[in-house]
Amino acid sequence: MNTILDEVDQKYRNLLVKTSVPDWVDPMLATLTSKRFSDENWIYERKLDGERCLAFKKNGHVKLLSRNRKDISDTYPEIVEALEKQKTPDFIIDGEIVAFQGDNTSFSKLQERIGIKNREEALKSKIKVYYYIFDLIYIENYLIEKLPLTLRKELLRKHLTYQDPLRYTEHIWKEGVKYYKEACRKGWEGVIAKRADSEYQHKRSTDWLKFKCVNEQEFVIIGYTPPKGSRIGLGAILVGYYDKDRLIYAGKVGTGFNRTLLIQLTRQLEALKQNTPATDDKTGEKNVTWVKPEIVVEVGFTEWTKTGKLRHPRLLGVRRDKDPRTVVKEIPEA
């Protein structure tokens, strides 16, 4: 019977590390860039707007963990079940869990599943989710993170079977600029460019680059204003980001809420009230209820103003997969 050693070329076998399945590995993160390029040494994947997920299978049991190590298995039980049915006994894979609005992935749509933590309730949900798998980190008895990316993807495609809700993340070679333009035309979030021979690094790396079609990033909620008219819960949220140890005010977000999110978010924020703002910046807002900076949200916007505030911001959803202290202003590398 063939083993993973038989499938890896002799020149790469010294890169394999024999070990039991780790309980955790930090995910590799892409770096935002303003460059758009085509290169025969790079591959290009669709950038998906969902929840990052590492799946660990050990002795037939699967656990899904977010990028900040939260167990999200009960939120996506159909994905757990599909992975437990895989013939490959032990593995660690990396991917993105998404929901669709039409032909495009929608983080706002996924919110209706992210809020569910009960397995039975999740199975009854009408929000269909899909796990787009793009990397293989461990298989059988070996960590394979130091193998070239394209070889890891080749093994990933071979050793798992793909039927909804599991999907293999396809890629193209070389034509990065053309693919980026196509992505923006189709309304995708963007493209991830990956160096074809790169190893899997447990940190943010320039071997993976984000070509974004739209401006969006995470922010920390620092306060909220009261509702007006028929609105319930809250009027708008005040958000910021960290610059080292300092929390910088980035602006007020008042659109993108639905009734369910307003109710849930207001309840969460009420439990985090504090008397003083977490930022030293002047916000210019009155009647603000200040909160501890513990809730991270995804916000879309058109641009940054000259004064460092968000122009036309809209709430996309609440993130549970990121530590608030890691939220910084995303500035594209030159």
What residues contact residue 171 under an 8 Å CB cut-off, 6+ apart? Answer: 43, 44, 45, 153, 194
The Cα–Cα gap between 218 and 282 comes to 21
The Cα–Cα gap between 200 and 94 comes to 10
The Cα–Cα gap between 275 and 261 comes to 24
The Cα–Cα gap between 139 and 95 comes to 15
- Residue 9 burial (10 A CB sphere; 0-12, 13-18, 19+): exposed
The Cα–Cα gap between 190 and 46 comes to 6
The Cα–Cα gap between 218 and 177 comes to 26
With H, G, I as helix, E, B as strand and everything else as coil, classify residue 179: helix
Question: Do residues 333 and 32 touch, judged by C-beta distance below 8 A?
Answer: yes
Q: Please list the residues that pair with 9 across neighbouring strands.
A: none
Catalytic machinery residues: 47
Dig out the tokens for 164 from the structure.
Answer: 């909804």
